[in-house]
Chain A
């Protein structure tokens, strides 16, 4: 009785990756050097600039649909680039073990870099590239969204390509498919279910960042791009509650449409790629799919698309013959590989020197101690909130997961909740904190998990509903109840999926801390003591060395917690509790 793991957010903890740790260190050094380099450039590039004709944001609700459209468009442009990145780097890492050693740990490190730090560095650079044009901030925002969605997609695709069953690979080779054909006919479809799940989760979490990326203040410049995020930012500065309500309502509609028009059809479509259908989980009905299947015009459009697809797959230019003398390849490639490692070694040494010099010359000891202190504060918030959220959602999730009919009702609601950009509500919470004179240090903490707690619930439900029925009956038969029932049956049974959910939630909470620890309402600023607030304040001031230091600190903390806590825990859970 195979207990299948439901496809889920792909973090590195979940991939089977066992390469010596020094590659992780190399990746870390390279990423940090990259960040410093980017920020250093950014610092050089800050200059008074003119963005051309600024489009003023209006709080008139009539403009909201247009703003929502712009916001959505940004999200999908970023998604396009994420897909391209995924196909290129995911495949590369899966196909070439030398590239894999560098790419996978690098993505692991990048995944722990807060998205808003990327944004802080990207804005000046893109403004410099496209000076005198709104294209700069637009590109920066899209870049920020891209960094919010791409990493888990790439990891998932990499995992998919690596696990293509051997007999399919052999069939593709015996029938002499070219590499290009094999990619589109075998590797992409095989990885599709996992990739689609990650695309859906990525886009869901992107709503949070798309809203955050639109109104960004970097280096004392506040840039607003026409969109729902800017609308709400303006509403906050003007203390206009009516506009905030309008924006929230507008976002609800957008997410609803997005769920119906994209999410549902995609899940339905995924079924096609699966070897066998799940007995328990019927694919959700998607009216949009029915529409496509029943309407003649739309059907002919889709067959037209499939013809285009077939032409694309069979492009004659890309039918590169594989007949090259093997001996030659071996010789040149060995030379090349040697050169490759030599270059990596050189760059790493250079980067190490660079990072070291930066840390020792720019950051004073007191500052470093201060940052570490702040890091501890934020860590405590994240950990206690994940703990609290687990305490609440695990029993509820189990209750729901064991009841298929309730699950069927609740799942779409959670999908909806996951996608809703929770930062729209931050100002409301700020109002509450002000009105009731609550302690900022404590009450900003729930904001960090407000959006990501759903991952815990979602995965617990999935885990509980995947528990074999016979086990449930056996537990009842032997009168295993109460505490024993939890300890011996439920908790071990849902452990792997719960841990995956908690990892995802914790990662999201760290990212959200940058927004959640420093919230504004009009002129009142509610800033808690924490690393997130620190990064936000410093990037508003344009104090790049401090942003870098804060980012690196957060990165290291997240990586340490992942490596020392989550990964071992996950491995134990899978080894011990997953029946095979």
Chain B
């Protein structure tokens, strides 16, 4: 449908990070994607799916391990003129005023002082911040800070705007407001921006802004699906077509391409699986919720559940994934349903719950089973956490390995299958005295 040359072409991009001497960790696998003129593209994925890494490769901040990114016929190897970025954490210099922050990009382009001033003031005007030119970022609210972020990006007159979760550190109302202002700006064609790439984990955000939604799956990050959205702006989130789109996206995100149509199979994980960063109260809380009469014994729609719990998918998916791993519930096609074990757990008292949890943890989480076996085998029943950490690092990045270890220690302590001493970093079978 696009006979014009795409503005950005991503061809066979792979990225792996140096893990340790003998192993590399693959985060992005064979990404192919084109960004066309007049299009807002959203990359949607869970955290850790490599979507931000891809955006940084496009921005020229990191180099791909293989493949190329081509911008208007030139290969991107370093940050290029014409590409501007808006950051999740705003990335404003706290020691510069709003005006100085906006001028920064122009200083780098060696724009003369007077022109710098007029262009910056105009950009500040466009994002609706006039009157705040001399304010420091710390005086502004989150939403206003992100407006500065937008002004800073607009002032260098880019034709590609990259946005890395720009609304996710804002509260719901502010984010809504900023999103609609962005759309107005985009549709008014007041700027030179030809294409926008948005990275997000918020399904509704992607659905309300994007013309095309690219769904990312993790380990390693790859494109699992692509949807074209042809609902005209402004999109009403009560519109049935819009609801249907959201439902579709949920289904795509909970179903991997392989198991469509097959009978339900629980997810089986290996030793180095990146356990979701979920705490015990979140697990028990969701189990209790699903045990309530209105959800019991039926497939519960995830968007409805997320709505009910006031959670983002980034918060809900890890918990549903945990229930699936521990085999307390079945999750498929955007639905969740408690199984017999899940019901038994929800029905039990505190001590009984711990027993059920311990049983499932040892049966279905290889890492927990492995730690317990090592401790059982050793005569003194003790082992250092470092030992398991270095083993995990064969599978995961250093930070991810630490997180997984922290998660498994928390789960294991709750289940009372082992004990942990923070000061010494020792895992053991003893009870604290």
Question: Taking beta carbons and an 8 Å cutoff, which residues of A are in contact with B?
Answer: 167-168, 170-171, 173-178, 181, 185-186, 189-190, 192, 272-277, 310, 313-314, 316, 319, 322-323, 326, 575-576
Interface-facing stretch out of B33-41, B93-101, B286-294: B93-101
Q: In the bound complex, how far is the Cα of B90 from the Cα of A335, in angstroms?
A: 40
Which of A173, A176, A185, A274 is the one whose CB lies under 8 Å from B96? A185
Chain A CB within 10 A, most for which of B60, B77, B79, B113: B79
CB-nearest residue of chain B to A323? B78
Question: Taking beta carbons and an 8 Å cutoff, which residues of B are in contact with A?
Answer: 56, 59-61, 77-79, 81, 83-85, 87-96, 104-105, 107-110, 113, 136, 138, 152, 156, 423
16 CB < 8 A contacts A-B: A167-B89, A167-B90, A168-B91, A168-B93, A170-B59, A174-B59, A174-B61, A174-B84, A175-B84, A176-B105, A176-B108, A177-B107, A189-B93, A273-B95, A276-B138, A326-B77
B13 to chain A, nearest CB (A): 17
Do residues B109 and A176 form an inter-chain contact, with CB atoms below 8 A?
yes
Which of A181, A190, A310, A316 is the one whose CB lies under 8 Å from B108? A181
Q: In the bound complex, how far is the Cα of B211 from the Cα of A224, in angstroms?
A: 80
Q: In the bound complex, how far is the Cα of B109 from the Cα of A319, in angstroms?
A: 10
A18 to chain B, nearest CB (A): 14
Specify the main secondary structure of chain B where it touches its partner: loop
Given contacts A177-B107, A274-B138, 12 further A-B contacts (CB under 8 A): A167-B88, A170-B56, A170-B85, A171-B85, A174-B59, A174-B84, A175-B108, A175-B152, A175-B156, A190-B95, A273-B94, A326-B77
A560 to chain B, nearest CB (A): 26
Do residues A178 and B108 form an inter-chain contact, with CB atoms below 8 A?
yes
CB-nearest residue of chain B to A189? B95
Do residues B95 and A192 form an inter-chain contact, with CB atoms below 8 A?
yes
Q: How many A-B residue pairs have CB under 8 A?
A: 76
Which of A171, A190, A313, A322 is the one whose CB lies under 8 Å from B91? A171
B423 contact set on A, CB distance < 8 A:
575-576
A277 to chain B, nearest CB (A): 7
Do residues B94 and A275 form an inter-chain contact, with CB atoms below 8 A?
yes
Do residues A173 and B152 form an inter-chain contact, with CB atoms below 8 A?
no
Which of A174, A181, A272, A273 is the one whose CB lies under 8 Å from B85? A174
A192 contact set on B, CB distance < 8 A:
95
B92 contact set on A, CB distance < 8 A:
171
Q: In the bound complex, how far is the Cα of B96 from the Cα of A272, in angstroms?
A: 9
Which of B79, B87, B110, B136 is the one whose CB lies under 8 Å from A316? B110
B137 to chain A, nearest CB (A): 8
Which of A168, A189, A277, A314 is the one whose CB lies under 8 Å from B107? A314
A261 to chain B, nearest CB (A): 23
Q: In the bound complex, how far is the Cα of B77 from the Cα of A310, in angstroms?
A: 29
CB-nearest residue of chain A to B103? A310
Q: In the bound complex, how far is the Cα of B153 from the Cα of A175, in angstroms?
A: 8
Q: In the bound complex, how far is the Cα of B187 from the Cα of A359, in angstroms?
A: 80
A276 contact set on B, CB distance < 8 A:
138
B168 to chain A, nearest CB (A): 13
Chain A CB within 10 A, most for which of B78, B83, B95, B423: B95
B78 to chain A, nearest CB (A): 6
CB-nearest residue of chain B to A272? B95
Q: In the bound complex, how far is the Cα of B78 from the Cα of A322, in angstroms?
A: 9
A326 contact set on B, CB distance < 8 A:
77
A134 to chain B, nearest CB (A): 42
Do residues B61 and A173 form an inter-chain contact, with CB atoms below 8 A?
yes
A520 to chain B, nearest CB (A): 49
Q: In the bound complex, how far is the Cα of B91 from the Cα of A316, in angstroms?
A: 26
CB-nearest residue of chain A to B97? A272
Which of A186, A277, A310, A319 is the one whose CB lies under 8 Å from B93? A186
A120 to chain B, nearest CB (A): 42
B113 contact set on A, CB distance < 8 A:
310
Which of B56, B107, B136 is the one whose CB lies under 8 Å from A181? B107
Q: In the bound complex, how far is the Cα of B79 from the Cα of A181, in angstroms?
A: 16
Do residues A275 and B138 form an inter-chain contact, with CB atoms below 8 A?
yes
Q: In the bound complex, how far is the Cα of B113 from the Cα of A176, in angstroms?
A: 17
A319 contact set on B, CB distance < 8 A:
110
Do residues A274 and B94 form an inter-chain contact, with CB atoms below 8 A?
yes
Q: In the bound complex, how far is the Cα of B56 from the Cα of A533, in angstroms?
A: 61
